[in-house]
Copies of this chain bind each other. A is one copy, B any other.
Amino acid sequence: MTIDPKSVLRLNMGQWQGGDQPMYRVGAHVLAALAPAPTGPVETIAVPPATHEERTVEQGIKSRPAVLRQFREAQAAIARHAPEAIVTLGGDCLVDLAPMAYLNERYEGDLAILWVDAHPDIMGPEQYSHSHAHVLGNLMGYGDPDFGGAVPRPVKPEQILYVGVNDMLEYEQDFVARHAISVLSPSAIAENPGAVREWFAKRGYSRVAIHYDLDVLDPALYPFLYFTNPHVDPSEFDGLAKGKMTMEQVAKILKDVATVCEVVGIAIAEFLPWSLEPIKNGLETLPLLGKAG
C-alpha cells in the first residue's frame, strides 16, 4: 500500500447522542482499548456522558447541539493533521460524517464509499430524529443544512456500494431507487460472492472509504449489537431490518476490496458491549475508584 502508516489518523469518537444510546460511548472506549495500536496521530473527540437531562429534539434532531459540536470538532481534529487516511472508532454511525466528508474532498471524488450496514442511513429529520440514520444522506448533501450543507464535496450516488442492507423501509427503498445506488444484500452476496469485486472493477475508483456498522452482523450470533439490548424486549424490534452477516464474511469482503482498491478510511460503529455492564456498574460502587469515592 502507498499510504504512509504515520499519516493514518486514529479518530476516537464516543458519540452516543446520534443514536440516543449512552452505551455507544462505552463501546467506543472499549473498542479503542481492543483495537491494534495506532500507527499515526490520535485524536479523541470529547463526548460528555449521558446525564438525566432531557435529550430534546431541535429541528428534528435529538441532542442536536451536542452532535453538531462533535461533528465540528471532528472536522477540526482532522484538519489539524490533514491525514492520508483515517481510522474512526465510534460511537454511533454519525461519527463517520467528518471523516468521509474530508476524504471525499481530499481525493476529489475518486473514492468508493463501501457502506457495510443493515440500514442505508439516508433518512432526514423528517423521517427520524436519531441522526445516526442520516449520515450517508448528509454525506450526499441532504438533511439538516448544518450537517449535509457542511460537506464540502457531496458524495455522488454512483460512488456508493451498500453491502448487507436489507428489508428497507418504503422511504429508504424509494430514495435508493431514485438515486440508483448499488445494493448488495446478504442474499445477493451469497449468490454471487464475486459481486463486490465486480462492482469495484466496473467503477474503477482508486480509493475506498469503508463504513462498518456492526449492526450488519447477525444479532443471533453477536451479543454486542443494538438488537441484543438486554433492557429491551425483543418484540420492540419487530419490523426493523436486522443484520444477517458474520464477521468472517465481512472481513473477507474487506480484505478482497483492499487488494483492488486503496483503503483510505475505515470506521467501526455501533459497538454495544452489553456484557460489560455489570463490571462497569460494579466499578462505580467501589471506594476511592467509584463515583461515591
List residues of A whose CB falls within 8 A of some B CB.
Answer: 1, 3, 8, 26, 29-36, 85, 87, 210, 212, 222-224, 247, 251, 254-255, 257-258, 263-266, 268, 271, 273, 275-276, 278-280, 282-293
What are the residues of chain B within 8 A of A284 when measuring CB–CB? Answer: 36
Q: How far is the CA of A1 from the CA of B285 in the complex (A)?
A: 16
Residue contact A280 to B34, C-beta cutoff 8 Å: yes
Shortest C-beta distance, A281 to chain B (Å), equals: 9
Q: Within the complex, which residue of B210, B283, B287 is in contact with A35, where a contact is CB–CB below 8 Å?
A: B283
The residue in chain B whose Cβ has the minimal distance to the Cβ of A89 is B289
A270 to chain B, nearest CB (A): 12
User: With the chains together, A32 CA to B283 CA distance in Å?
Assistant: 10
Report the separation of the CA atoms of residues A263 and B87 in the bound assembly, to the nearest whole angstrom.
41
Bound form: Cα–Cα A268–B289 in Å: 10
Q: Please state if A8 and B288 are interface contacts (CB–CB under 8 Å).
A: yes
Distance in angstroms between the alpha carbons of A34 and B268 in the assembled complex: 19
Chain B positions within 8 Å of A285 at CB level: 251, 255
Residue of B nearest to A86 (CB): B288
Assess the A247–B282 pair: CB atoms within 8 A. yes
| Assembly CA distance A34 to B23 (angstroms) | 11
Check A279–B224 contact: CB distance below 8 A. yes
Give the complex CA separation of A100 and B258 in angstroms: 50
Give the nearest-CB partner of A1 in chain B: B293
B contact residues around A36 at 8 Å (CB): 283-284, 289-291
Asked if A34 meets B293 with Cβ closer than 8 Å, knowing A288-B87, A288-B263, the reply is no
From B258, B268, B287, give the contact of A258 (CB < 8 A): B287
Q: Rank and list the top 10 A-B pairs by shortest CB-CB distance, nearest first.
A: A29-B33, A258-B287, A263-B287, A33-B33, A34-B280, A247-B282, A251-B285, A263-B288, A266-B288, A275-B275
